[in-house]
Copies of this chain bind each other. A is one copy, B any other.
């Protein structure tokens, strides 16, 4: 990991409203004392599959991919997610070890809190517990929905779906730089790299998108949405 350190400015962190809303000022202060921030450069691995879970981790800034190794040593991308959607949400209280990896797609800052401390907060503060439960349930729900959405679609629909995901959920813009390679898109939607590229070319030839390397501009979002819902 690139950098790490302690900063006690949690009072002003946007994250407070997300799950830490039910903590008192004192709790926030103590949370700060139990917290560290780690910075990762693009490409660095934040969590290794198989690593022991002993911290509660969440994204402060940046973008990450969550993925797992398949039996034939390929990568299967579970989700691509941005700040305030937890990293370590999925099984921290249940599993001993991470059964997925996380790596930074852009420069990323991760906040790290000792898991036992979070547990003590949960025990002593029921509203905090409900908040966390709600947040985790929502994130998991989104992942499940995405997985089912993808499974339902054919090649064209999947590529359209993932382009819309970047445009709407991640960048809130019709013009954006892909944070992933073509191969990673393929790993994400479960298709071959060649066919992902072919589909992007088709979209380009049909005037639905413009492509300049990693830069994508969606020029006909209506048609893209139609392709996503049809396929």
Task: Please list the residues of chain A having a beta carbon within 8 angstroms of any beta carbon in chain B.
Answer: 68, 70-71, 76, 78, 89-95, 99, 119, 122-127, 129-130, 132-138, 140-141, 143-145, 147-148, 150-152, 190, 229
In the complex, what residues of B have CB within 8 A of residue A119's CB?
130
B130, B143, B148: the one contacting A76 at CB < 8 Å is B148
A145 x B99 contact (CB < 8 A): yes
Q: From residue A186, how far is it (CB to closest CB) to chain B in Å?
A: 13
Decide: A147 near B145, CB < 8 A? Known: A92-B137, A126-B123.
Answer: no
Ordered nearest first, which 3 A-B pairs have the shortest CB separation? A123-B126, A129-B129, A140-B140
B141 x A144 contact (CB < 8 A): no
Residue of B nearest to A91 (CB): B141
Decide: A137 near B138, CB < 8 A? Known: A144-B90, A148-B147.
Answer: no
B90, B126, B152: the one contacting A137 at CB < 8 Å is B90
Decide: A137 near B76, CB < 8 A? Known: A99-B145, A145-B99.
Answer: no
